[in-house]
Structures are given as C-alpha cells and as structure tokens.
Amino acid sequence: MTVTILFAAPSEDWAEYEAPLTDALDATGLDYRIGPDLAPETVDYIVYAPSSKVQDFKPFTRLKAVLNLWAGVEKVIGNPTLTVPLTRMVDEEGLTQGMVEWVTGHVLRHHLGMDRHIVNPEGVWEHEAPPLAHDRPVTILGMGALGKACARTLRHLGFPVTGWSRSEKRIANVKCVHGEAGLAQALRGAQIVVLLLPETPGTQNILNAQSLALLHRGAVVINPGRGPLIDDAALLAALDSGQVSHATLDVFRVEPLPGDDPYWTHPRVTVTPHVASETRPGSASRVIAENIRRSENGMPLLHLVDPLAGY
Ligand code: NAP
C-alpha cells in the first residue's frame, strides 16, 4: 500500500524540504507519495507547521498522525478537529544543537561581561576579571530535549547547573529538582536563568514578581522558550530595580515584537527575533521519515505529545 504524506507548511517551505524529505523517505524503503497538494481523504500522515493553511483536520478521514515540524505545539494542541496522535520535533543534530549553541553563546556573553569591552566607546581600561564558571550558578527551567542538552554543555564548561522539570530527573552532575516545590529551590540564588519550558496553562508567567525575587540580585534572564513564560510587567520592574541586570529575549507574547514594545528600547534588554534555534530540513526530514517508518511497521511513534500535559 502506498503511504500518502501531505506537506502542510507555508508554500515556500516545500522547496527547502522536498529533496531532504524525499531522500529520507527513500531510505526507509516505504512505497510513498508526498506533496503539498493532496486530496485530504487520501492522506495518511501530515508533516505539519502550525502556520500552514491546514487548520481543520476533519476532511482527513484516514489520517494516522500529524508530525509537527516545530518543537512547540501550543498552536496545534487545542485544535478540536485533531483527533489523531501528534508528534513534536526532537532533532539532536539540528534543532537541539542550534539551541545549545545559542544558549551557550548568550550565557557566556553575560558570564564574561563581554559587552563591557565590545561596547566601550570611551576606551575605558577597566581591569576587572570575571569569575570562573564554577562561581556562576545557572538554572534551566525545563529539562526536556533542549534543556537537558544545554544543561550538559553548560555543566561541561564548569557552571553549577540546576534544572527544573515536572517529573523527577537524574542527570550526571546536574542538580535536578521538580514540581512546584522544586521551583523555589531552582531559582533561589541563580545568577543566570534560562527558560526552556513549553507554553502550557501550567507554565504561563512562571517568571513573575515573586519568582524573580528569588534570583540572585543582578541576575540575567535568558528566554528562548516562549513569551508567555514571563510576566512582562514584572520583568520590566525587576530590570528597573536592578533585581535583574539584563534580559535576553528571543520569544514574545506577540511576534514579530511590535515596534512600540518597551523591550526594544530598554537599555538592559536584548531582543533576538525568534532565532534561538530552527528546524533544519536535512536532519528534521530524517526524524520525520523514521517516525513514519516506525508507525508503518507497527512501532510506537517517537516524540508523542501528551494532550493532557499540553506538550
Ligand atoms: P520538551 O522536551 O517537551 O521539554 C519540556 C520540559 O519542560 C520538560 O522537562 C518538562 O518536564 C518541562 N515542563 C513542562 N511543563 C512543566 C511544568 N508545569 N513545570 C515544570 N516543568 C515543566 O520540550 P523541548 O523540545 O525541550 O522544547 C522546549 C520549548 O522550547 C518548546 O516547547 C518551545 O516552546 C521552545 N523552543 C523555542 C525555540 C526558539 O527558537 N526560540 C526553538 C525550539 C523550541 P518533564 O520532563 O517532567 O516532562
């Protein structure tokens, strides 16, 4: 039987994905057809970007699964017409590697105080060496595919890393805490906090006035997770009071960030335009093809989203 796969993403993405998806699917040995325009009632799998035109899954009467191209699923999970399993993108070679590089770069920028030397128009000779990594506690909220990988790299560089998740974790040389009680433990005294949580009802405004107050005075907030994780008014107040010395923000409640948003002009905020990490067509196509191969061979899908948990 031919497996029929719809590529449902903005139309310009097909040009980037056609060759790598075809190569990866060829390697599975499956008999398949794939394209961006297929009759809904013939489709077995949808390779999906939440920004696609497809928002109603009801016409896809023989659909077996939706394979999301993004790690974040908050724009798909509440869709009442989606009644088949949903997977999210987990790709060590591409998405995870990109996030590790972005997080490590921004952590090191703040740890080393690089701005002082890069932006020094007066040519001030200020001889002040930064502490070593082992004197700079870093906390990562979210110990999933991305958080864990960042934790390992930062630990390897010498930072004392604490990671927070919903369920209990054991990661070598990383202090792992979990659940509501673990949050205060994770945040108390942290000098750099990295947000790698999904957007769910349980994670909204996790950084708020109360939780920001637990951080080491002058801490740095780095958010490549999702905008709603932060209570923006509370963060701006913490920046103005000096409780937070800098925030590097990649994601926002409204994207693109509106031109009049105070984050753009705040002297202690760095805005990056949702570039922390992208799905890379080559490696992501192999992940998608492997999941279709597994499903067609009666094996469980990898990276399944739990609709109840919301991620
Ligand atoms: P993941 O593997 O699903 O991991 C999510 C982590 O968050 C897990 O450790 C989970 O705990 C934890 N978590 C969820 N709800 C929680 C709660 N209420 N309390 C405590 N911990 C909670 O996700 P991922 O692949 O690492 O991706 C994380 C997020 O990064 C994505 O959802 C997306 O929003 C964002 N992202 C951003 C970019 C970008 O370019 N800016 C790129 C990719 C992804 P358990 O381990 O116990 O389940």
Burial of 39 (0-12, 13-18, 19+ CB in 10 A): exposed
Distance (Å, whole) CA 131 – CA 200: 36
pLDDT digits (tens, 9 = 90+) for 278-303: 999 999 999 999 999 999 999 999 99
pLDDT of the residue at 132: 98
Mutate to test the pocket of ligand 1, among 88, 139, 165, 271 (most ligand atoms within 8 A of CB): 165
Residue 196 C-alpha to ligand 1 middle, in angstroms?
5
pLDDT at 288: 98
Residue (of 159, 202, 158, 210) closest to 184 by Cα position = 210
Query: Ligand 1 within 6 A of 274 CB?
Result: yes
Structure tokens at 297: 């061979």
pLDDT grade for 213, boundaries at 50, 70 and 90 = very high
Q: Tokens for 216?
A: 């080491």
Parallel, antiparallel, or unpaired for β 45-48 and 65-68? parallel
Question: 11 Cβ partners below 8 Å, 6+ apart?
Answer: 36
Q: Does the domain made of 3-91+279-296 have the CATH classification 3.30.930.10?
A: no
Q: What is the pLDDT of residues 57-109, one digit of tens each?
A: 999 999 999 999 999 999 999 999 999 999 999 999 999 999 999 999 999 99
Q: How confident is the model at residue 179 (pLDDT cuts 50, 70, 90)?
A: very high
Residue 45: beta bridge partners? 5, 65
The residue whose C-alpha atom lies closest to atom 4 belonging to ligand 1 is 144
Question: What's the length of the chain?
Answer: 311
pLDDT of residue 91: 98
Q: What interhelical angle do 97-112 and 145-156 show, nearest 10?
A: 50
Question: Do 3-91+279-296 and 92-271 fold alike per CATH?
Answer: yes
Question: Of these residues, 226, 246, 286, 293, which one is catalytic?
Answer: 226
- Give the 3-state secondary structure of residue 155: helix
What's the rounded mean pLDDT across residues 246-253? Answer: 98
Residues 29-49, mean pLDDT to the nearest whole number: 98
Please indicate whether residue 228, judged by its CB atom, sits closer than 6 Å to ligand 1: no
pTM above 0.85, yes or no: yes
User: By CB neighbour count within 10 A (0-12 exposed, 13-18 middle, 19+ buried), where does 259 fall?
Assistant: exposed
Q: For 260-271, what is the mean pLDDT?
A: 98
100, two tokens: 């590790």
Choosing among 3.40.50.10420, 3.90.550.10, 3.30.70.260, 3.40.50.720, the CATH entry for 92-271 is: 3.40.50.720
Examine the residue annotation and report whether 226 is marked as an active-site residue of this protein: yes
Measured between alpha carbons, how far apart are the two ends of the chain, in Å? Answer: 32
Tokens of 20: 């790598």
**Residue ranges of the domains in the chain?**
3-91+279-296, 92-271
Please identify which residue in the block is written with the tokens 């209990």: 168
| Residue 106: active-site member | no
